[in-house]
C-alpha cells in the first residue's frame, strides 16, 4: 500500500469546500493507496472545524488527517488581496513543517476526478516542483506583457498556477530556497505566494498537462488552436477529460448552482455533507443567486431618489448606463477611493470622495460595483454612517459566466 502525502491550507471559511475536495480524492482513487492529509492552519482554527474534517477520517480507513499549525509573526502583516486569504501563504512553509521527500498540494476549491497515483509519482528529480501553466495567464498573455519584469523573471510563458503542485520538499530544503521565499512575503506581490513560487522556482518547475489544473472559469470557452501555451492534444475534450477541476473565479460552486460544471461539485458535496449542512449551503447559494440578478438591484433601488455607484471603473460605468434606462437622473455621483479618479466625470456624473457624498446625500442608496473590494467598501460606508440596508452589491457577469450557465436559467 503506497502512501500519498497531500497538503491543504485553510481558515474557517474553507472547511466545507475542503471536505468536498478530500471526498473527491477518495471517490476518484482506483488504487489501494493510503492518504496522509496535512491541514495547514493556525491555532485559532476552531474545534468544530477540526471535528468536521476529522469526521472524514472516521469514515475512511485509508485516510489520516493531521493539523499542522503555523505561527509566524510575518504573516500578520502579509499583503493579501480582497478574495484570497492569508492562508494562501502557508504553502511557502511546507518544506519546514512536513518532513517528507515530496507532497501534493491541493487548493480547497477543487474536484479531483482521476486517481492521483500517476501524477504523484512524477519524476521531479532536479526540480523544486511540478505544476500546470496558469490558464488565466496564458489566455490573457498580452495583459501580462510587463509582469515578468515586475517579478524579475525572463518570461511569463512558464508561469504556473499554485493550486495543484507536486513539491520536491527534499530539494527545497537542500537548497534552502524556502528561506528566500518566506522572506519575500513582505514584498507585497500581486498574486501573493503564487508570484513568489514562480519567481524563486523559475527554471526548476516541471510542467504538468492542463488536465491537472483546469480552470472551470473557462468551461464552455475553450477554443482549440487559439490558446498558446498548450498543445492541441491537451485542449481537445479538456472539459470532459480534466482530471482536476479548479473552481477559480467569483462564482464558486457553493455560491452558485446555475453552472453546469458546478453541479459536479454539488454531487460530491451531497456524498460528504450531512443533510442539515447540505441544505444550509444550498439555501445560502440560492440567496446569493437571487442577489446576483439584475432584478434584485432594481427591486432594491425602487423608491430611491439618489443613487451613488461606488467604483469608477468600466463595470461601474456600465452599471450607470443600465440604470439610466430605468431611472433617468437617479445616479448623482460615483465614489472611488482612488484619488486619481476623483474629479473625473462620466456623462455629467462626477466622481466624488465617499465622505463628501455621505454628508451631502445622507439618504442615498449605494451600489458597490467593485468586484473584489465589497467587504472593505461596505465597512467603510458603515463607518461613514451609511446603513447596511442602503448598500447593494453589484455582481458582474461576464461572457464566461454565460458560457457556463445551464440552459434552464435565463436573465
Bigger pLDDT: 234 vs 104: 104
Q: Tell me, what's the pLDDT at 367?
A: 97
pLDDT at 79 over 80: no
Mean pLDDT, residues 292-311 taken together:
94
Locate all alpha helices (DSSP H) within 340-406, ordered by sequence.
354-360, 374-383, 399-404
Bigger pLDDT: 404 vs 24: 24
Instruction: Report the C-alpha gap between 261 and 258 in whole angstroms.
Output: 9
Cell 483546469 sits on residue:
214
| Range with lowest mean pLDDT among 48-52, 133-137, 226-230, 371-375 | 226-230
Q: What is the pLDDT of residues 193-235, one digit of tens each?
A: 999 999 999 999 999 999 999 999 999 888 776 677 788 888 8
Contact 201, 93 (CB under 8 A): no
Q: Tell me, what's the pLDDT at 82?
A: 55
Contact 159, 76 (CB under 8 A): no
Q: How far is CA 260 from CA 70, 366, 402, in A?
A: 37, 33, 11
Contact 246, 163 (CB under 8 A): yes
Put simply, whether the predicted model's pTM sits higher than 0.95 gets the answer no
Mean pLDDT, residues 353-379 taken together:
94
Map out the domains of the chain with their CATH numbers.
3-280 (3.90.550.10), 294-393 (3.40.50.720)
Q: In which band, very low, low, confident or very high, does the pLDDT at 20 lie, cut at 50, 70 and 90? A: very high
Bigger pLDDT: 215 vs 187: 215
Instruction: Report the C-alpha gap between 352 and 369 in whole angstroms.
Output: 15
Grid coordinates given for 94: 511546507
Q: Count of CB atoms within 10 A of residue 27's CB?
A: 14
Q: Tell me, what's the pLDDT at 229?
A: 79
Q: How much of the chain exceeds pLDDT 70, in percent?
A: 98
Query: What's the CA angle centered on 202, arms 135 and 85, to 5 degrees?
Result: 60
Q: Are strands 205-207 and 214-215 parallel, antiparallel or unpaired?
A: unpaired
pLDDT at 81 over 70: no
Q: Tell me, what's the pLDDT at 411?
A: 54
Instruction: Report the C-alpha gap between 37 and 8 in whole angstroms.
Output: 7
Q: Tell me, what's the pLDDT at 38?
A: 97
Instruction: Report the C-alpha gap between 77 and 117 in whole angstroms.
Output: 38
Contacts for 174-180: CB closer than 8 Å, 24+ residues apart? 175/128, 177/128, 177/201, 178/92, 178/93, 178/95, 178/96
Instruction: Report the C-alpha gap between 227 and 238 in whole angstroms.
Output: 13
pLDDT at 77 over 80: no
Contact 135, 214 (CB under 8 A): yes
Q: What is the pLDDT of residues 110-125, one digit of tens each?
A: 999 999 999 999 999 9
Mean pLDDT, residues 18-38 taken together:
95
Q: Tell me, what's the pLDDT at 15?
A: 96
| Range with lowest mean pLDDT among 9-23, 121-135, 247-261, 319-333 | 319-333
Q: In which band, very low, low, confident or very high, does the pLDDT at 16 lie, cut at 50, 70 and 90? A: very high
**Beta bridge mates, 307:** 331, 365
Q: Tell me, what's the pLDDT at 83?
A: 61
Q: How far is CA 212 from CA 161, 221, 295, 296, 367, in A?
A: 11, 18, 38, 37, 38
Mean pLDDT, residues 306-310 taken together:
96
pLDDT at 23 over 80: yes
Mean pLDDT, residues 2-27 taken together:
95
Q: Tell me, what's the pLDDT at 58?
A: 87
- How high does pLDDT run on average in the chain? 93
Secondary structure percentages of the chain, helix, strand, coil, to 5: 45, 20, 35
Instruction: Report the C-alpha gap between 109 and 213 in whole angstroms.
Output: 11
Q: Tell me, what's the pLDDT at 259?
A: 92
CA 366 to chain CA centroid, nearest Å: 26
Q: Count of CB atoms within 10 A of residue 210's CB?
A: 25
pLDDT at 55 over 60: yes
Element (H, E) at 133: strand 129-133
Query: What's the CA angle centered on 63, arms 246 and 5, to 5 degrees?
Result: 60
Amino acid at each position: 500500500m503506497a502512501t500519498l502525502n497531500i497538503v491543504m491550507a485553510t481558515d474557517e471559511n474553507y472547511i466545507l469546500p475542503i471536505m468536498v475536495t478530500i471526498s473527491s480524492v477518495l471517490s476518484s482513487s482506483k488504487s489501494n493507496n493510503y492518504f496522509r492529509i496535512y491541514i495547514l492552519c493556525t491555532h485559532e482554527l476552531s474545534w468544530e472545524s477540526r471535528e468536521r474534517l476529522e469526521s472524514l477520517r472516521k469514515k475512511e480507513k485509508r485516510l489520516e488527517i493531521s493539523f499542522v499549525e503555523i505561527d509566524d509573526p510575518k504573516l500578520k502583516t502579509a499583503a493579501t488581496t480582497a478574495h484570497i486569504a492569508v492562508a494562501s501563504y502557508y504553502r511557502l512553509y511546507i518544506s519546514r513543517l512536513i518532513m517528507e521527500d515530496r507532497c501534493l498540494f491541493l487548493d480547497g476549491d477543487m474536484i479531483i476526478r482521476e486517481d492521483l497515483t500517476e501524477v504523484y509519482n512524477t519524476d521531479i528529480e532536479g526540480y523544486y516542483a511540478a505544476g500546470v501553466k496558469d490558464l488565466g495567464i496564458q489566455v490573457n498573455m498580452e495583459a501580462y506583457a510587463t509582469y515578468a519584469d515586475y517579478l524579475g523573471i525572463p518570461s511569463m510563458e512558464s508561469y504556473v498556477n499554485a493550486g495543484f503542485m507536486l513539491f520536491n520538499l527534499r530539494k527545497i530544503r537542500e537548497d534552502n530556497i524556502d528561506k528566500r521565499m518566506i522572506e519575500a512575503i513582505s514584498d507585497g506581490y500581486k498574486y501573493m505566494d503564487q508570484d513568489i513560487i514562480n519567481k524563486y522556482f523559475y527554471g526548476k518547475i516541471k510542467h504538468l498537462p492542463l488536465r491537472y489544473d483546469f480552470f472551470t472559469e473557462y468551461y464552455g470557452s475553450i477554443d482549440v488552436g487559439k490558446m498558446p501555451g498548450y498543445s492541441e492534444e491537451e485542449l481537445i475534450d479538456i472539459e470532459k477529460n480534466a482530471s482536476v477541476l479548479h473552481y477559480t473565479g467569483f462564482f464558486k460552486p457553493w455560491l452558485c448552482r446555475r453552472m453546469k460544471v458546478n453541479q459536479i461539485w454539488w454531487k460530491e458535496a451531497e456524498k460528504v455533507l450531512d443533510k442539515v449542512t447540505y441544505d444550509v449551503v444550498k439555501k445560502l447559494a440560492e440567496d446569493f443567486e437571487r442577489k446576483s440578478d439584475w432584478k434584485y438591484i432594481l427591486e432594491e433601488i425602487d423608491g430611491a431618489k439618489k443613487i451613488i455607484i461606488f467604483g469608477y471603473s468600466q463595470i461601474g460605468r456600465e452599471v450607470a448606463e443600465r440604470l439610466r434606462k430605468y431611472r433617468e437622473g437617479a445616479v448623482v455621483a460615483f465614489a472611488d477611493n482612488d484619488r486619481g479618479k476623483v474629479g473625473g466625470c462620466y456623462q455629467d456624473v462626477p466622481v466624488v470622495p465617499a465622505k463628501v457624498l455621505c454628508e451631502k446625500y445622507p439618504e442615498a442608496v449605494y451600489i458597490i460595483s467593485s468586484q473584489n473590494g465589497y467587504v472593505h467598501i461596505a465597512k467603510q460606508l458603515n463607518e461613514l454612517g451609511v446603513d447596511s440596508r442602503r448598500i447593494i452589491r453589484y455582481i458582474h457577469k461576464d461572457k464566461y459566466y454565460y458560457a457556463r450557465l445551464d440552459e434552464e436559467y435565463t436573465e
